[in-house]
Amino acid sequence: LYESVSYRLRLIQIAAYKSFEKQVSGFGSAPRYYGVLKLIQANPGIHQMRLAEAIYLDRSSLVPIIETLAKEGWLERRVTSHDRRVRRLFLTEQGERDLAVLDTQVNRHEAMMTLGFSQDEKTRLLQDLARIDTNLRSYLVSAKGE
């Protein structure tokens, strides 16, 4: 199995998450959903459906995550003036402040994970992961149409 990219990625994902949870505390559910929060921060007003697509989730799977983060004060859902059914996502002011603090913890964890990597090696790793992501997205789009 160690020759399997899928298997190795999954193992690393589990280990990265466990080590991250050990390092970061006091942020409620946010560490688990850090990527979601960063996407909302980078795309204020993002539609829930678009966010779900970006992170490979069904909309129904994303809803409980959004509800949890909203209850904890990280984000808010706002209706649009032209369509009251559409909910746009925004970080709250407190969410923005807390996310800046969480960013420090994330950066510390990232540094630990890539200890010993040169900048070129990190760049190459990210490029390779981006290629895998592109392949998976292409496959999922084509499989959706079948």
Which parts of the chain fold into alpha helices (H)? 5-23, 34-42, 48-54, 59-71, 93-113, 119-144
Q: Which amino acid is at 64?
A: P
Given this model, what pLDDT does residue 99 score?
A: 96
Query: Which of 4-8, 38-42, 46-50, 77-81 has the least mean pLDDT?
Result: 77-81
pLDDT band at 33 (very low <50, low <70, confident <90, very high): very high
Q: What is the pLDDT of residues 45-84, one digit of tens each?
A: 999 889 999 998 988 899 999 999 999 999 999 887 777 6
pLDDT value at position 24? Answer: 86
| Residue 23 pLDDT greater than 90, yes or no | no
Q: pLDDT tens, 83-135?
A: 767 789 999 999 999 999 999 999 999 999 999 999 999 999 999 999 999 99
Average pLDDT over residues 11-26: 90
Residue 38's nearest CA partner among 91, 82, 2, 94 is: 91
**Distances 44 to 28, 75, 138 between C-alpha atoms, Å:** 22, 10, 26
CB-CB contact of 133 with 54 (8 Å): no
The Cα 111–Cα 56 span in angstroms is: 26
**pTM (two decimals):** 0.83
Q: Is residue 144 scored above 80 in pLDDT? A: no
